[in-house]
Amino acid sequence: MADHGITSPLLSPPPSDHSHLILTVQDDTDTDSHHNGTHTHQSTSAHHHHSRNPFAFLGSDGFTVPVSTTADPFRNHTLEITGVYEWLKIGICLPVALARLVLFGASLVIGFLATKLALQGWKDKKNPMPRWRCRIMWITRKLRIVKCFLGLVWMLKSENLSNYHWIRRKGKPAPRDIAPIVVSNHVSFIEPIFYFYELFPTIVASESHDSLPFVGTIIRAMQVIYVNRFSASSRKQAVSEIKRKASCGRFPQVLLFPEGTTTNGRYLISFELGAFIPGFAIQPVVVRYPHVHFDQSWGHISLARLMFRMFTQFHNFMEVEYLPVVSPLENKKESAICFSERTSHAIATALNVVQTSHSYGDLMLLTKASQSKLKPVRELFNLFDSDNDGRISKEDFLTCLRKNPLLIALFSPCLLNKDISEDSNRLVEEIV
């Protein structure tokens, strides 16, 4: 074998009499000029030269670039009850729903009374709750509100699934000394109930939750850290409290939902930085609600409607996965933003969902828009959005006009007397 140097080619050049295959990748704007040009290659080469599929010579079919779609992380996908099966299931489960309602009310009242007893006379809220008061709180926890939640989530004994059948756990909670802070995605009102029983953490919540009947008292016993979303000083104080309680081993773990609101679980919206500014190690937790007919997410749906649908299911599935602990990079002096991005990426990867830049502010805008009198505008938009992708393209626009010629009057009444409904280009030019 001949010796080869570093600069010598690995393959010898072909003889000069061999034909060459030249592939040119060109823009659409230059296509016409190339079609009109003179070519000296063989017909097969000319075919590849003009092909819009650069891999056609390999026998590959053409490919298309998927169109962009809009993302709505707050929409529940089963708002309406559709199908014979769903209506039949509701009819069968109505008596069960009443029993579940009674069971839920009883467990909530007993838990409320036990919590009131644990809080009675306790004024030193800056220090951890005394142990004897925590033991009283075990009454509330031992009710297993998730289990007793009217059969919303069945929790049957099963050795291979961490003592539960349909609440499937993967991984284990990290000890407090390793991960003082826990963060989780937020899909429904079930997660706080589950974590209350599972971890009994110190939770960070909005000030508005304190006024909720029954619930406000119970989360108060968890030494909740309240935060006002619209007050910079309140957010700063909340970060200080998170740092203080996370650094003290006598407090339980601090639980945060960094998205700041509930989503439909199909996307992961932007994270607030409160959990990441203190710089402690964090354990991400992922919650999923597998379903076929009923979306359990609390995304732009009333609580009463959501609970009714949950009550009238044969069972609801839930999965909880504890991810590996994410620690700040000490040698790189990582910022809170980078720390949150690494954590959110870990959660999004585990969920196999897309990360978006939505925030609680977008939910506020959506809520205000739904409360305003924009229903006719929404209906008109849905009429033109024929493919339901959240956008109105030129094709959607023309398709709707052809199906509903009277809509032309909305844009240009004079076109009603012109027979150009089949001429798409003229129709668009006249309207524009």
Full 3-state SS string of 212-236:
CCCHHHHHHCCCCEEECCCCHHHHH
Locate the DSSP E strands across 238-365.
254-256, 267-268, 282-288, 318-322, 354-355
Amino acid at 216: G
Q: Which long-range contacts (CB under 8 A, 24 or more apart) does 128-131 make?
A: 128/223, 128/248, 128/250, 128/251, 128/252, 129/221, 129/223
Q: Are residues 204 and 225 in contact, defined by beta-carbon separation less than 8 angstroms?
A: yes
Q: Is 85 helix (H, G, I), strand (E, B) or coil?
A: helix
* Residue reference for tokens 């000069």: 16
Instruction: Count how many Cα atoms sit within 13 Å of the Cα of residue 252 in the half-sphere of its side chain.
Output: 23
Instruction: Find how far residue 345's CA is from the centre of its chain.
Output: 12
Q: How many helices (H) and strands (E) does the chain have?
A: 15, 9
Backbone angles phi, psi at 26, to 5 degrees: -130, 155
Q: Are residues 430 and 418 in contact, defined by beta-carbon separation less than 8 angstroms?
A: yes
DSSP at 251: S
Q: What is the dihedral of CA 88, 93, 98, 103, to 10 degrees?
A: -160
Label the pairing between strands 267-268 and 167-170: unpaired
Amino acid at 189: F
C-alpha closest to that of 370 among 305, 300, 266 = 300
Q: Is 88 helix (H, G, I), strand (E, B) or coil?
A: helix
Residue 173 Cα distances to 179, 256, 307, 413, angstroms: 9, 15, 28, 66
Element (H, E) at 426: helix 424-431
pLDDT of the residue at 67: 56
Q: How far apart are CA 393 and CA 169, in angstroms?
A: 44
Give residues with Cβ within 8 angstroms of 228, minimum separation 6: 206, 207, 234, 235
310-345 pLDDT, tens digit each: 888 888 888 999 999 999 987 767 889 999 999 999
pLDDT of the residue at 247: 92
- The ranges of the chain with pLDDT < 70 are 1-69, 142-166, 332, 405-432
Amino acid at 319: E
Q: 131-142 vs 84-119: helix axis angle to the nearest 10?
A: 160
Instruction: Find how far residue 421's CA is from the centre of its chain.
Output: 42
Q: Are residues 344 and 268 in contact, defined by beta-carbon separation less than 8 angstroms?
A: yes
Q: Which tokens sit at 27? A: 């823009």
* Residue reference for tokens 């609101």: 261
CA triple 33-34-39, angle to 5 deg: 135
